[in-house]
Amino acid sequence: MALKTVLIIYAHHSPSSFNAAAKDVAMQTLTAQGFKVIVSDLYAMNFRSSATAADIKSNLKNPEHFLYGDETFIAWKEDRLSDDIKEEQRKVAEADLIIFQFPLYWFTVPAIMKGWMERVLTQGFAYTLESIYDNGILKDKKAVLSFTTGGMESMYLPDGLNGDINVMLWPLQNGVLRFCGFQVLAPQIFWCVADAPPSERTAMLEAWQARLKGMLDEQPLSFAPTKLFDLSVQGGFRLCSDMKEAYASQPYGLTTGQHLGKPLPPNNQMKASPHDNH
Protein backbone atom coordinates (compact mmCIF):
# COMPACT_ATOMS: atom_id res chain seq x y z
CA MET A 1 0.00 0.00 0.00
CA ALA A 2 1.35 3.43 -0.94
CA LEU A 3 2.24 5.73 1.93
CA LYS A 4 -0.54 8.21 2.62
CA THR A 5 0.36 11.85 3.08
CA VAL A 6 -1.40 14.43 5.25
CA LEU A 7 -0.75 18.15 4.87
CA ILE A 8 -1.57 20.45 7.79
CA ILE A 9 -2.05 24.11 6.92
CA TYR A 10 -1.57 25.76 10.30
CA ALA A 11 -2.26 29.38 11.19
CA HIS A 12 -1.66 30.55 14.75
CA HIS A 13 0.96 32.92 16.13
CA SER A 14 1.66 31.11 19.39
CA PRO A 15 3.30 27.68 19.86
CA SER A 16 1.59 27.49 23.27
CA SER A 17 -1.93 27.90 21.83
CA PHE A 18 -4.67 25.30 21.75
CA ASN A 19 -4.44 25.37 17.95
CA ALA A 20 -0.78 24.42 18.24
CA ALA A 21 -1.76 21.57 20.55
CA ALA A 22 -4.40 20.37 18.06
CA LYS A 23 -1.81 20.53 15.29
CA ASP A 24 0.69 18.56 17.40
CA VAL A 25 -1.91 15.91 18.26
CA ALA A 26 -2.65 15.48 14.56
CA MET A 27 1.06 15.20 13.73
CA GLN A 28 1.71 12.64 16.46
CA THR A 29 -1.43 10.56 15.89
CA LEU A 30 -1.11 10.37 12.12
CA THR A 31 2.64 9.74 12.19
CA ALA A 32 2.09 6.90 14.66
CA GLN A 33 -0.33 5.36 12.15
CA GLY A 34 2.31 5.41 9.44
CA PHE A 35 1.23 8.52 7.56
CA LYS A 36 3.68 11.03 6.20
CA VAL A 37 2.78 14.37 7.77
CA ILE A 38 3.79 17.72 6.28
CA VAL A 39 3.11 20.99 8.10
CA SER A 40 2.93 24.45 6.56
CA ASP A 41 3.24 26.74 9.58
CA LEU A 42 2.14 29.91 7.82
CA TYR A 43 3.20 32.46 10.44
CA ALA A 44 6.57 30.77 10.99
CA MET A 45 7.05 30.74 7.23
CA ASN A 46 6.09 34.40 7.06
CA PHE A 47 3.80 33.35 4.24
CA ARG A 48 2.71 36.33 2.20
CA SER A 49 -1.07 36.75 2.27
CA SER A 50 -1.42 39.37 -0.48
CA ALA A 51 -2.06 38.13 -4.02
CA THR A 52 0.00 40.48 -6.18
CA ALA A 53 2.05 40.63 -9.36
CA ALA A 54 5.03 39.47 -7.28
CA ASP A 55 3.53 35.96 -7.52
CA ILE A 56 4.52 35.83 -11.18
CA LYS A 57 8.05 35.54 -12.50
CA SER A 58 9.14 37.53 -15.54
CA ASN A 59 6.91 39.77 -17.60
CA LEU A 60 3.17 40.09 -17.23
CA LYS A 61 1.04 39.42 -20.29
CA ASN A 62 -1.04 42.56 -19.71
CA PRO A 63 0.74 44.95 -17.32
CA GLU A 64 -1.60 47.81 -18.19
CA HIS A 65 -4.61 45.93 -16.78
CA PHE A 66 -3.39 43.41 -14.22
CA LEU A 67 -5.84 40.54 -13.69
CA TYR A 68 -4.48 38.22 -11.00
CA GLY A 69 -6.48 35.15 -12.02
CA ASP A 70 -5.60 35.40 -15.68
CA GLU A 71 -1.93 36.12 -15.08
CA THR A 72 -1.45 33.30 -12.56
CA PHE A 73 -3.22 30.84 -14.88
CA ILE A 74 -0.78 31.71 -17.65
CA ALA A 75 2.14 31.63 -15.20
CA TRP A 76 1.08 28.20 -13.93
CA LYS A 77 1.00 26.83 -17.48
CA GLU A 78 4.43 28.33 -18.20
CA ASP A 79 5.96 27.38 -14.82
CA ARG A 80 6.43 31.02 -13.84
CA LEU A 81 4.69 31.12 -10.46
CA SER A 82 6.72 32.30 -7.47
CA ASP A 83 8.74 29.68 -5.62
CA ASP A 84 6.63 29.80 -2.44
CA ILE A 85 3.43 29.09 -4.39
CA LYS A 86 5.08 26.26 -6.32
CA GLU A 87 6.30 24.70 -3.08
CA GLU A 88 2.83 24.76 -1.51
CA GLN A 89 1.29 23.36 -4.70
CA ARG A 90 3.84 20.54 -4.56
CA LYS A 91 2.68 19.73 -1.02
CA VAL A 92 -0.99 19.80 -2.05
CA ALA A 93 -0.31 17.53 -5.02
CA GLU A 94 1.33 15.00 -2.70
CA ALA A 95 -1.35 15.10 0.00
CA ASP A 96 -4.24 12.67 0.35
CA LEU A 97 -5.77 14.74 3.15
CA ILE A 98 -5.40 18.42 4.03
CA ILE A 99 -6.19 19.65 7.54
CA PHE A 100 -6.71 23.39 7.94
CA GLN A 101 -5.96 24.25 11.59
CA PHE A 102 -6.86 27.78 12.69
CA PRO A 103 -8.76 30.05 15.10
CA LEU A 104 -12.00 31.43 13.66
CA TYR A 105 -11.43 35.12 12.87
CA TRP A 106 -14.43 37.27 11.95
CA PHE A 107 -16.42 34.13 11.04
CA THR A 108 -13.74 32.87 8.63
CA VAL A 109 -10.08 31.88 8.38
CA PRO A 110 -7.24 34.25 9.38
CA ALA A 111 -5.97 36.51 6.59
CA ILE A 112 -2.75 34.54 6.22
CA MET A 113 -4.72 31.35 5.55
CA LYS A 114 -7.10 33.12 3.19
CA GLY A 115 -4.01 34.34 1.37
CA TRP A 116 -2.78 30.75 1.13
CA MET A 117 -6.07 29.76 -0.48
CA GLU A 118 -6.03 32.69 -2.90
CA ARG A 119 -2.41 32.26 -3.94
CA VAL A 120 -1.96 28.47 -3.91
CA LEU A 121 -5.29 27.29 -5.37
CA THR A 122 -4.65 28.86 -8.76
CA GLN A 123 -6.58 28.23 -11.94
CA GLY A 124 -4.98 25.37 -13.79
CA PHE A 125 -3.57 23.78 -10.65
CA ALA A 126 -6.73 23.55 -8.49
CA TYR A 127 -9.53 24.13 -11.00
CA THR A 128 -10.41 25.12 -14.52
CA LEU A 129 -13.67 26.51 -15.82
CA GLU A 130 -14.57 22.96 -16.91
CA SER A 131 -13.18 21.17 -13.84
CA ILE A 132 -15.02 22.33 -10.71
CA TYR A 133 -17.16 20.79 -7.97
CA ASP A 134 -17.85 17.11 -8.86
CA ASN A 135 -15.32 17.29 -11.67
CA GLY A 136 -12.80 19.33 -9.70
CA ILE A 137 -9.12 18.71 -10.23
CA LEU A 138 -8.55 17.82 -6.55
CA LYS A 139 -11.48 15.38 -6.32
CA ASP A 140 -9.28 12.49 -5.16
CA LYS A 141 -8.22 14.38 -2.05
CA LYS A 142 -9.99 15.01 1.25
CA ALA A 143 -9.98 18.19 3.31
CA VAL A 144 -11.20 19.16 6.76
CA LEU A 145 -11.50 22.43 8.68
CA SER A 146 -10.33 22.17 12.30
CA PHE A 147 -10.76 25.35 14.28
CA THR A 148 -11.39 27.05 17.58
CA THR A 149 -14.11 29.58 18.32
CA GLY A 150 -14.32 32.44 20.77
CA GLY A 151 -18.02 31.90 21.42
CA MET A 152 -19.85 28.97 22.97
CA GLU A 153 -21.61 26.46 20.74
CA SER A 154 -25.10 27.79 21.49
CA MET A 155 -24.14 31.13 19.95
CA TYR A 156 -23.74 29.40 16.57
CA LEU A 157 -27.09 27.61 16.49
CA PRO A 158 -29.84 28.67 14.05
CA ASP A 159 -31.35 30.79 16.83
CA GLY A 160 -28.02 31.80 18.36
CA LEU A 161 -26.64 35.33 18.59
CA ASN A 162 -23.93 34.72 15.97
CA GLY A 163 -26.17 32.81 13.57
CA ASP A 164 -26.06 29.33 12.09
CA ILE A 165 -22.53 27.92 11.85
CA ASN A 166 -23.64 26.01 8.74
CA VAL A 167 -24.15 29.31 6.92
CA MET A 168 -20.70 30.53 7.99
CA LEU A 169 -19.03 27.33 6.79
CA TRP A 170 -20.69 27.28 3.36
CA PRO A 171 -18.33 29.79 1.66
CA LEU A 172 -15.24 27.90 2.85
CA GLN A 173 -16.43 24.33 2.49
CA ASN A 174 -18.38 24.73 -0.74
CA GLY A 175 -16.98 27.91 -2.27
CA VAL A 176 -13.31 27.07 -1.78
CA LEU A 177 -12.77 23.38 -1.00
CA ARG A 178 -15.53 21.62 -2.91
CA PHE A 179 -15.21 24.12 -5.78
CA CYS A 180 -11.74 22.66 -6.32
CA GLY A 181 -13.13 19.14 -6.05
CA PHE A 182 -12.10 18.23 -2.51
CA GLN A 183 -14.11 15.63 -0.63
CA VAL A 184 -14.97 17.80 2.38
CA LEU A 185 -15.11 16.03 5.72
CA ALA A 186 -17.20 17.25 8.65
CA PRO A 187 -15.46 20.12 10.46
CA GLN A 188 -13.73 19.63 13.79
CA ILE A 189 -14.84 22.50 16.00
CA PHE A 190 -13.36 23.29 19.39
CA TRP A 191 -15.95 25.54 21.01
CA CYS A 192 -15.05 28.42 23.30
CA VAL A 193 -11.60 27.08 24.13
CA ALA A 194 -10.42 30.21 25.97
CA ASP A 195 -13.07 29.72 28.66
CA ALA A 196 -12.76 25.94 28.90
CA PRO A 197 -11.06 24.48 32.02
CA PRO A 198 -7.96 22.30 31.47
CA SER A 199 -9.95 19.08 31.82
CA GLU A 200 -12.28 20.11 29.00
CA ARG A 201 -9.37 21.08 26.78
CA THR A 202 -7.79 17.71 27.40
CA ALA A 203 -11.08 15.98 26.54
CA MET A 204 -11.32 18.01 23.30
CA LEU A 205 -7.85 16.92 22.24
CA GLU A 206 -8.56 13.30 23.13
CA ALA A 207 -11.72 13.37 21.00
CA TRP A 208 -9.70 14.88 18.13
CA GLN A 209 -7.08 12.15 18.51
CA ALA A 210 -9.75 9.45 18.42
CA ARG A 211 -11.30 10.92 15.29
CA LEU A 212 -7.96 11.21 13.52
CA LYS A 213 -7.42 7.47 13.81
CA GLY A 214 -10.25 6.84 11.33
CA MET A 215 -10.46 10.14 9.50
CA LEU A 216 -9.40 8.96 6.05
CA ASP A 217 -12.24 6.42 6.09
CA GLU A 218 -14.96 8.97 6.88
CA GLN A 219 -17.73 9.78 4.45
CA PRO A 220 -17.60 13.35 3.14
CA LEU A 221 -20.32 15.94 3.57
CA SER A 222 -23.14 16.00 1.04
CA PHE A 223 -23.25 18.66 -1.66
CA ALA A 224 -25.61 19.00 -4.61
CA PRO A 225 -24.10 17.13 -7.60
CA THR A 226 -23.45 19.23 -10.67
CA LYS A 227 -25.57 16.84 -12.73
CA LEU A 228 -28.65 18.37 -11.08
CA PHE A 229 -27.97 21.73 -12.75
CA ASP A 230 -28.43 23.04 -16.25
CA LEU A 231 -24.77 23.81 -16.98
CA SER A 232 -25.39 26.06 -19.95
CA VAL A 233 -25.46 29.80 -20.42
CA GLN A 234 -29.06 29.52 -21.57
CA GLY A 235 -29.96 27.57 -18.43
CA GLY A 236 -28.13 30.04 -16.23
CA PHE A 237 -26.33 27.20 -14.39
CA ARG A 238 -29.41 26.79 -12.24
CA LEU A 239 -31.09 23.75 -10.75
CA CYS A 240 -32.96 21.77 -13.39
CA SER A 241 -36.71 22.30 -13.37
CA ASP A 242 -37.47 18.66 -12.61
CA MET A 243 -35.29 18.84 -9.49
CA LYS A 244 -37.10 21.97 -8.36
CA GLU A 245 -40.38 20.11 -8.77
CA ALA A 246 -39.03 17.12 -6.88
CA TYR A 247 -38.06 19.30 -3.92
CA ALA A 248 -41.25 21.38 -3.96
CA SER A 249 -42.92 19.03 -1.47
CA GLN A 250 -39.84 18.50 0.71
CA PRO A 251 -39.65 20.17 4.13
CA TYR A 252 -36.08 21.36 3.63
CA GLY A 253 -33.99 22.81 0.84
CA LEU A 254 -31.32 20.91 -1.04
CA THR A 255 -28.28 22.24 0.81
CA THR A 256 -27.26 25.22 2.92
CA GLY A 257 -26.57 27.12 -0.30
CA GLN A 258 -29.32 25.78 -2.56
CA HIS A 259 -32.02 26.15 0.07
CA LEU A 260 -34.77 26.84 -2.51
CA GLY A 261 -36.45 29.30 -0.16
CA LYS A 262 -37.06 26.53 2.38
CA PRO A 263 -35.62 25.90 5.83
CA LEU A 264 -31.98 24.83 5.64
CA PRO A 265 -31.39 21.08 5.90
CA PRO A 266 -30.21 20.61 9.51
CA ASN A 267 -26.43 20.57 9.95
CA ASN A 268 -25.82 20.22 6.23
CA GLN A 269 -22.30 21.60 6.66
CA MET A 270 -21.60 19.79 9.92
CA LYS A 271 -22.39 16.12 9.48
CA ALA A 272 -22.20 13.56 6.69
CA SER A 273 -25.60 12.24 5.63
CA PRO A 274 -25.43 8.51 4.80
CA HIS A 275 -28.99 8.50 3.50
CA ASP A 276 -28.49 11.36 1.02
CA ASN A 277 -28.46 9.98 -2.50
CA HIS A 278 -29.39 13.14 -4.48
**68-77: per-residue pLDDT in tens?**
999 999 999 9
| pLDDT in the model for residue 273 | 76
For the chain, the distance separating the N- and C-terminal CA atoms, rounded to the nearest angstrom, is 32
pLDDT confidence of residue 3: 85
Query: How many CB atoms neighbour CB 119 within 10 A?
Result: 23
Other residues' Cβ atoms within 10 Å of the Cβ of residue 95: 22
Of 3, 61, 70, nearest to 37 by C-alpha is: 3
User: Residue 200 in contact with residue 148, Cβ under 8 Å?
Assistant: no
pLDDT value at residue 274: 56
CA–CA distance, 189 with 186 (Å, rounded to integer):
9
Distances (CA, A) of 252 to 12, 166, 231, 262: 37, 14, 24, 5
User: In terms of DSSP bridges, do strands 142-148 and 97-103 run parallel, antiparallel, or are they unpaired?
Assistant: parallel
Residue pair 4/217 in contact (Cβ under 8 Å)? The answer is no
The arithmetic mean of pLDDT across residues 161-175, rounded, is 98
Residue-wise pLDDT for 66-111, tens only, equals: 999 999 999 999 999 999 999 999 999 999 999 999 999 999 999 9
Q: Are 247 and 151 in contact (CB under 8 A)?
A: no
pLDDT at 160: 97
**Amino acid identity for residue 139 in this structure:** K
Domain positions in the chain: 5-221, 224-278
Cα 239 from chain centre: 24
Give the Cα separation of 27 and 35 in Å (integer).
9
In this prediction, residue 277 has a pLDDT band, given cuts at 50, 70 and 90, of very low
Q: What is the pLDDT of residues 1-34, one digit of tens each?
A: 578 999 999 999 999 999 999 999 999 999 999 9
Q: Which residue type sits at 67?
A: L
Higher pLDDT, 272 or 189: 189
DSSP state letters, 21-40: HHHHHHHHHHHHTT-EEEEE
Q: Please, what is the average pLDDT of the chain?
A: 95
Domain 5-221: give its CATH code. Answer: 3.40.50.360
**CB atoms inside a 10 Å sphere around CB 13:** 13
Residues 51, 122 contacting (CB under 8 angstroms): no
- Count CB atoms within 10 A of the CB of residue 3: 8
Q: What is the pLDDT of residues 217-253, one digit of tens each?
A: 999 999 999 999 999 999 999 999 999 898 889 999 9
Cβ proximity of 233 and 114 under 8 Å:
no
In this structure, of 54-58, 124-128, 179-183, 232-236, the range with the lowest mean pLDDT score is 232-236
Question: How far is 148 from 165, CA to CA, in rounded Å?
Answer: 13
Question: What radius of gyration, in Å, describes the C-alpha atoms of the chain?
Answer: 20
What does the buried/exposed string (b/e) look like for 29-52 if buried means 16 or more CB atoms within 10 Å of the residue's CB?
Answer: bbeeeebebbbbbbeeeebbbebe
